[in-house]
């Protein structure tokens, strides 16, 4: 009888005791500015790319830069042996001088015959013949001038300068090689400052982009390598058609790239900011749960219990969820341990803010 009484007392004690506290991690509801943004994967491409070629043939005498050097506009890059072209220029100038002298003499003689024809000293046919000879020689002088200009241009072409500023690539030909005026590339120059990032977004975003036409839209690009800092630029181009195979539209953003962090050809994560929502109510994304009745969160009450509260998530940005509900900032919400919670369950905060929960 004594044992039965003790057993009954023990059972009664267990039934009357409180359930144990559920350990949870919490975070506070915040009210802050959250951007409306579009994320995409982009490819870096130079603002301009030029393949430096030669327009004359000859022996490559000198290369005035090293592979991979930064060069400026007009900087001397290559020298091709100019002597054959200088000789051609001298010959063209000599021919021009000879024909010019003959043309001037023919013009003076034609003028004399004009006066003599007026006095009937010579026939009109003689004057017209002299005039025709003078005009023919004048045409020859013009042709000689053109030939001399071409020869002078070829001498200039023997010196090759950088058409744009940028970084040089691999040399295709070295000193001593014979180059041909056939479009053979000597080196490629990529303009890296500023630089472009090409990326595509779904066609469904076109109305949002068009509504903001004429506005400066910030863009951020982060390289995939460790420790990369996002570069900041602006949207500079939107294509005029949708790619029918992918259902996307091409965009380009321009970045100053003063530190040279963005490199042509590499893949980057692009974030395009369309607008900013001020005073948005946000919670950590892991605080939002999904059930049969929709999305909900667990709020910690002043009594230290968990209260399930339905919420509407308008969008998720990075690691936070933006709520349409007006939840007071500072409210504690559960971010870990929700699966062990029930309505009005007592909780023990083991991770997150340790201060008193906000009054509901």
Run means of pLDDT, 10 residues per run, the chain, 360 residues: 48 55 93 92 96 94 95 96 97 97 95 90 90 95 97 96 96 92 89 96 93 92 86 96 95 95 94 92 94 92 91 90 92 92 87 54
In a domain, 240, yes or no: yes
Whether residues 271 and 207 fall in one domain: yes
Whether residues 75 and 168 fall in one domain: yes
For residue 129, give both structure tokens: 């013949």
Whether residues 285 and 326 fall in one domain: yes
**Other C-beta atoms within 10 Å of 130: how many?**
22
In a domain, 11, yes or no: no
What is residue 360's predicted lDDT score, i.e. its pLDDT?
40
Whether residues 65 and 185 fall in one domain: yes
Q: Which helix (H) or strand (E) holds 86?
A: helix 83-118
How many domains would you assign to the chain?
4
What is residue 71's predicted lDDT score, i.e. its pLDDT?
96
Residue 263 sits in a domain whose CATH number is 2.40.30.170
What is residue 224's predicted lDDT score, i.e. its pLDDT?
82
pTM of the model: 0.72
Whether residues 307 and 204 fall in one domain: no
In a domain, 15, yes or no: no
What is residue 13's predicted lDDT score, i.e. its pLDDT?
43
Residue 111 sits in a domain whose CATH number is 1.10.287
In a domain, 358, yes or no: no
Q: Answer with the one of 246, 277, 308 that is the final residue of a domain.
A: 277
In a domain, 324, yes or no: yes
Domain extent for 259? 37-47+192-277
In a domain, 360, yes or no: no
Whether residues 272 and 196 fall in one domain: yes
Whether residues 224 and 329 fall in one domain: no
Residue 343 sits in a domain whose CATH number is 2.40.420.20
Write down the residue that tokens 């029930």 correspond to. Answer: 342
Is residue 281 within 8 A of residue 323, CB to CB? The reply is yes
Whether residues 200 and 268 fall in one domain: yes
Q: Cα–Cα distance between 49 and 265 in angstroms, integer?
A: 12
Burial of 318 (0-12, 13-18, 19+ CB in 10 A): exposed
Q: Cα–Cα distance between 273 and 251 in angstroms, integer?
A: 13
Whether residues 131 and 253 fall in one domain: no
Cα dihedral 167→173→175→176 (10° resolution): -170
For residue 275, give both structure tokens: 């607008």
Q: Cα–Cα distance between 66 and 170 in angstroms, integer?
A: 9
Q: Cα–Cα distance between 334 and 312 in angstroms, integer?
A: 16
252 closest CA partner among 219, 301, 291, 300: 219
In a domain, 288, yes or no: yes
For the sheet containing 70-71, what is the strand order? 49-53, 185-190, 166-168, 70-71
Whether residues 153 and 171 fall in one domain: no
What is residue 183's predicted lDDT score, i.e. its pLDDT?
74
């Amino acid at each position: 009888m004594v044992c039965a009484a003790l057993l009954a007392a023990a059972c009664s004690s267990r039934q009357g005791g409180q359930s144990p506290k559920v350990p949870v991690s919490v975070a506070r509801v915040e009210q802050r500015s959250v951007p409306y943004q579009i994320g995409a994967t982009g490819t870096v491409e130079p603002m301009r790319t030029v393949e430096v070629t030669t327009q004359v043939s000859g022996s490559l005498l000198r290369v005035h830069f090293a592979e991979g050097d930064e060069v400026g506009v007009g900087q001397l890059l290559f020298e091709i042996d100019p002597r054959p072209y200088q000789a051609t220029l001298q010959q063209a100038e000599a021919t021009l001088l000879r024909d010019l002298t003959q043309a001037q003499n023919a013009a003076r003689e034609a003028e004399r015959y004009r006066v003599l024809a007026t006095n009937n000293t010579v026939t009109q046919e003689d004057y017209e013949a002299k005039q025709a000879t003078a005009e023919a020689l004048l045409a020859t002088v013009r042709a000689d001038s053109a030939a001399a200009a071409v020869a002078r241009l070829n001498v200039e072409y023997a010196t090759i300068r950088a058409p744009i500023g940028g970084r040089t690539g691999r040399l295709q030909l070295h000193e001593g090689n014979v180059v041909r005026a056939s479009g053979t590339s000597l080196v490629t120059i990529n303009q890296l400052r500023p630089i472009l990032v090409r990326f595509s977004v779904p066609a469904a975003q076109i109305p949002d982009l068009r509504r903001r036409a004429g506005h400066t839209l910030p863009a951020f690009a982060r390289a995939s390598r460790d420790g990369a800092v996002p570069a900041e630029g602006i949207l500079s181009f939107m294509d005029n058609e949708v790619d029918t195979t992918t259902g996307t539209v091409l965009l380009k953003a321009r970045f100053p790239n003063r530190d040279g962090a963005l490199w042509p050809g590499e893949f980057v994560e692009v974030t395009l900011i369309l607008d900013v929502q001020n005073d948005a109510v946000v919670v950590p994304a892991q605080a939002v749960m999904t059930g049969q009745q929709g999305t909900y969160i667990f709020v910690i009450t002043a009594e230290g219990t968990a209260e399930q509260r339905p919420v509407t998530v308008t969008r998720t940005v990075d690691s936070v969820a933006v709520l349409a509900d007006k939840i007071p900032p500072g409210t504690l919400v559960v971010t870990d341990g929700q699966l062990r919670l029930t309505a009005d369950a007592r909780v023990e905060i083991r991770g997150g803010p340790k201060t008193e929960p906000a009054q509901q």
